Amino acid sequence: MTLEPRPRATLGPRRRIRKAADFRAAYAARNRAADDHLVVYVRPNGRPESRVGLSVGRRVGNAVCRNRTKRRLRDAFRRAGPAVPHGYDVVLVALAPLDDLADTDRRLADLVARAVERCRTRRAPDRKASGP
């Protein structure tokens, strides 16, 4: 009996935002949604997949708490799948520790949907104005 290797449940480097310029562009786009634990910024990136960037400051807690929060956010983003449309950069800013995994999934899906909707409604008038 041979054991097949389990697929790794990680976000590859193509699915992460790493450059400061990409974070600044997402903040400057001003398409955001927030609740008491999380702020989500989105902007179109022109790529076939969505990417995620995380910002977890010291006010969230000590290093252990911040790293746990980042792990939960990455996992929630990875599992969100269909809730996150393709072609967007998503920056997640944690304001408080995220304890419940199911709650984190629900928050993330709801906030991303609201921020993407704002992004689409802001871009819609530009398309109409540039038409014939």
Strand order across the beta sheet in which 51-56 lies:
32-34, 38-44, 88-94, 51-56
Q: Pick the more confident residue, 4 or 24.
A: 24
Residue 18 lies in a domain: yes
Instruction: Report whether 83 contacts 112 (CB < 8 A).
Output: yes
Residue 38 lies in a domain: yes
Per residue in 43-79, pLDDT tens?
Answer: 999 888 899 999 999 999 999 999 999 999 999 998 8
What is the four-CA torsion angle of 36, 42, 48, 53, rounded to 10 degrees?
-60
Residue 74 lies in a domain: yes
DSSP lists the bridge partners of residue 38 as 94
Interval 32-37 mean pLDDT: 93
Domain that holds residue 81: 13-120
Residue 83 lies in a domain: yes
Residue 52 lies in a domain: yes
Phi, psi of 109 (to 5 degrees): -60, -45
CATH number of the domain enclosing 72: 3.30.230.10
Per residue in 81-102, pLDDT tens?
Answer: 777 889 899 999 999 998 888 8
Whether this prediction's pTM lies above 0.85 is answered by: no
Instruction: Report pLDDT for 14.
Output: 85
Instruction: Report pLDDT for 32.
Output: 92
Residue 132 lies in a domain: no
Distance CA(26)–CA(90), nearest Å, equals 7
pLDDT above 70 for 131: no
